[in-house]
A and B are shown apart, each in its own frame.
Chain A
Amino acid sequence: MSLKNILENFSDFRRDAEVGGHHDYEHRWAMSIDLNLCIGCNACSTACYAENNLGIVGKEKFEKGQAMHWLRVERYWDETDGEFPEQGASFVPMMCQQCGAATCEPVCPVAATYHTPDGLNAQVYNRCIGSRYCSNNCPFRVRYFNFWSYYEQSWPEPLNQQLNPDLSVRDKGVMEKCTFCVQRIRTAKDTAQREKRQLQDQDFVTACAQACPTNAITFGDTLDPNSKVSKAWRKHQVERGPYTHKKPKENAELRGYRVFEELNVDPSIMYLERVRETEV
C-alpha cells in the first residue's frame, strides 16, 4: 500500500461525491411503470412474496406497521370535495427506486448498503448491523427491517418448501428491500456467460414485471440503448442523473416522471402519469 496507491484510491473514493453514484457501470437496471395501465391488483406484490421469500407477518404485526412487502401498491383517493370519487382511485406500485444518488447509501455506518456496478442499491444482509439509518433516510420509505425472526412463523411445514433457494431467508436485525430480483440478474448473467454471449434485453425480467396482467412494468438496462426500458425513457424524455428536474423537457406533455425527482436522488424507476378523461 504505497502512498501513491493511497492517494489515488482516496481520490477515487472522493470522485464525484457531490453527485453520487457509481461511475463504472456495467448495467443500469431500471424500470418504467405505466400508471395508465396499472390497475392496482396486487399481482406484482404477491409475485414478489413468492420470489423473494418475504416474511408473512400476520395481523398483529401488520397492525404495528411491520409488514415486509417490498413492493406495495399504494392507493390514494383524490383530494376532491365531491360526494363520490368519480375518477376512481390512484394506484402506484412503490418499491425501492434503486436511486443512482441514493440517500440510503452514504449513511450506513458499515457500508452494508452500497452501489453495485449494475446500478443497484445492494443490501448486504451479512454486513448489516441494523442501525436502520438507511430506512430513515429513504424518502420513499421502501426499506423493510426484520423486526422479528419472521421465518419462525412465516412458513410452517411444508410451506417452507416453497422458499426460493436462490436467495436467503433473513433473520431478525437486518434491513431488506427490493433488489430488482438480483438472483434473476445473477442467473441470467451466468447463463449468458456460459453461452458466451452478451446479456440481452428481456433475457429475464423481475417477478413483478413478469406477473403484471397489464404489462404496466417494463424492466431492463438503460445502458443498452435498444432495450425496451431505454426506449421508454427516451420516448418520455426522462434522463438519468440528479438535477434533471431543472432541465425542462422538450415536450412538456410527455408522461414520464420520477417520484421525488426534486430531491435529486436519481431514481431508477420512471413512472408514466396516470391518465383520466377530463371531459366527464
Chain B
Amino acid sequence: MEIKDKIIDENLGWQRINEDVIRSMDAPGKYYWITFAVCIAMVLCAVAAEIYQYRMGMGTVGLNNPHMWDMYIATFVFWIGMSHAGTLLSAILHIIHAQWRKPIYRFAEAMTTFSLMTAGFFPMIHLGRVWNLYWVLPYVSDRGIWPNFRSPLVWDAFAISTYLSASALFLVIGMIPDMAILRDHAKGWRRKAYGILALGWRGDDRQWRVFRKTYMLMACFLIPLAVSVHSIVSSDFAMSIMPGWHVTTFPPYFVAGALYSGCAAIMTLFIILRYFFRMEEYMTLNIMEKTCKLTFAIAMVWSYLNIIEFASTWYGHNTYDKELLINKANGPYAHIFWLMLFCGSVAPFALAFQKLRRHMPTMFAVSLILQLGMFVERWMIVAPTLSMAHNPHQWDVLYGSIIEWAIVFGSFGWFSLLFLVFVKLFPSVSMYEVKELTFHLKHEMEEEKEAAATSSKSKAGAVGKPGLEGA
C-alpha cells in the first residue's frame, strides 16, 4: 500500500491523538468569538422576525393563495436532508466496515443532530397558529380528538421525533469512550461533567463487546429510519395531487438529494475543521478523496433521478405535469431551474478530477456550490408547483419576503452556533476510533509486508510464467 493511498498515517502515537484532539477543544480564540457573535446576531434577527410574524400573521412572509408554502418548507427539507449524510453515512459505512469514516463521522453525526434541531423549527415557524402545535401529537384529549393519522404531516411529526432521538442517541452512545478519555484528561468541573457523560466507562471487554453490538444494531435501525424519514418528508409532496409533487420517484429522489447535500456539507465542515484545528493528519486528503468520490456518485444518482422524473413526466403525458415541467425550464423560474441543474449536475464533475479533489480551496467552493444547488432544488420543488398548478387563474410568481429570508438566514446562524459550541465541548474527531484505525492499519501493513515477503519468495520460485502478469 502506497503512502499516497493511506487513509491516515498508522504511526500516529495514541498519546498524540489524544492531545491533538483535545487541543481542538482549548479555549477559543478571537475568530471563534467573532463567528460566534455573528451567529448570535443572525439568530437574534430570526427571533425578531419570528416575533413580528407571530404577532402579525403569516402575511408577513408574503405568502398568498397559490403559495401557501414557500421558503420555510424548502428550508425544512434542506435541513432534514442535510441531517442524512451524518447518520446515514456513518451507519452505512460502519456496517460495510469502511474504515475511512472513522476520523470524520463524529462531526458528521453532530451535524445531523444539529440540522435536525434546526429543521424542527421550521414546521413550527411555518404554522399559522403555532401555539396549537401540540395538536398534531397523539395525546389523549377529553374531547376525543386525535390528529388525522392520514396526513403526511403527522407522519412527519412521528418520523422526525424518532429520527431526532435516534440520531442523538447514536451520537451520544458513540461518544462514550471519548468521554472517558476526556474525563481522564480534564480537571475540575469538566472532569466531573465528562465523568457523568462517560457513564462509568472503563473500557473493559464486556463494555466493548456490548458497545460494539449496540452500535451495530443502532446503525442497522438508523439506515431504514433515515430512508423512511426522508421518504416521509417527500410524501408531504408525493402524497398530494399537485403536478410536480405527485411523483413516484420522490422518495428515492429526496433520499439521494439528502445524501447529496449532506455529503457536500461534510466536505465543507471537513475543510473548515481541517484548516482551523490543524487536523491535517486526521482529516487527510485521502479521506477527502473518498468523500468526494462518494459525493460524485450520489450526484450522479441524483442527476439520474432527475432525468427519470423528467422522462416519466414527459412520457406520462399528464398535461399539468408536463406544462409545469416546461414552465419550470422556460417560465419565470427558469433561471433558478438551470442554476439548480448546473449546481447539482454540472458542478460535481469537478469532483471527478483528482487534482481538484486534492485542492482544498476548490473543493471548499465546490461544496458550497453543491449545497446552493441543493437548497435551490428544495425551493424549486415547493415554489413553482404552487405557482403553476392546476388552476391557471391562480398562477403567480413569488420570491420570499424579508421576514422569510431573515428566518432562513437565522437558521444557518443557529446551526453554526450549535456546531461552534459542540466543537469546543466535545471532540469533533473520534479519538478511540482513530486509534482503532491506526491499530488495524499497522497490522494490515505488517501482514502485507509478510505476505509480500512470502509472495516474493514464491515469485522467485515461479520463474518461467511471464505471461501471467499481463493478464
Contacts and interface: CB of A to CB of B under 8 A. Distances in A.
Q: Do A and B come from one complex?
A: yes
A109 B154 contact: yes
Contacts of A149: 56-57
A186 interface: no
B344 interface: no
A147 B69 contact: no
A82 interface: no
A144 B65 contact: yes
A136 B394 CA distance: 12
B128 interface: yes
B153 A107 contact: yes
Given A139-B391, A146-B128, A147-B58, A111 B69 contact: no
Judged by DSSP, the binding face of A is loop
Contacts of A66: 59, 63-65
Given A74-B393, A137-B241, A174-B129, A65 B150 contact: no
Contacts of B69: 132, 136
Interface in B318-368: none
Contacts of A135: 65, 68
Given A109-B148, A139-B391, A172-B57, A145 B63 contact: yes
B455 interface: no
Give the interface size class of chain A.
35 or more
Contact of B128 (A109, A137, A141, A172): A172
B390 A137 contact: no
B58 A173 contact: yes
Contacts of A103: 240-241
Interface string B218-241: 000000000000000000100111
Given A109-B153, A135-B68, A173-B58, A129 B135 contact: yes
Nearest to B392: A76
B10 interface: no
B63 A127 contact: no
A65 B64 contact: yes
B66 interface: yes
B12 interface: no
Judged by DSSP, the binding face of B is loop
Name the residue among A106, A109, A131, A260 with the largest chain B CB count within 10 angstroms. A109
A115 B55 CA distance: 32
A173 B394 contact: no
A148 interface: yes
A53 B62 CA distance: 23
A218 B157 CA distance: 43
A141 B65 contact: yes
Given A129-B130, A131-B126, A132-B69, 19 more contacts: A17-B150, A64-B64, A65-B64, A72-B393, A107-B150, A107-B239, A108-B151, A109-B147, A110-B132, A128-B129, A129-B128, A137-B242, A140-B390, A140-B391, A141-B65, A145-B65, A146-B128, A147-B63, A173-B127
24 contacts: A65-B64, A66-B65, A67-B65, A74-B393, A103-B240, A106-B150, A109-B147, A109-B154, A110-B136, A110-B145, A111-B148, A130-B127, A132-B58, A132-B68, A133-B153, A133-B240, A136-B386, A146-B128, A172-B57, A172-B59, A173-B58, A175-B128, A260-B390, A263-B390
9 cross-chain pairs, A with B, having the tightest CB-CB distances, nearest first: A130-B128, A65-B64, A173-B128, A147-B59, A172-B57, A132-B68, A109-B153, A111-B148, A173-B129
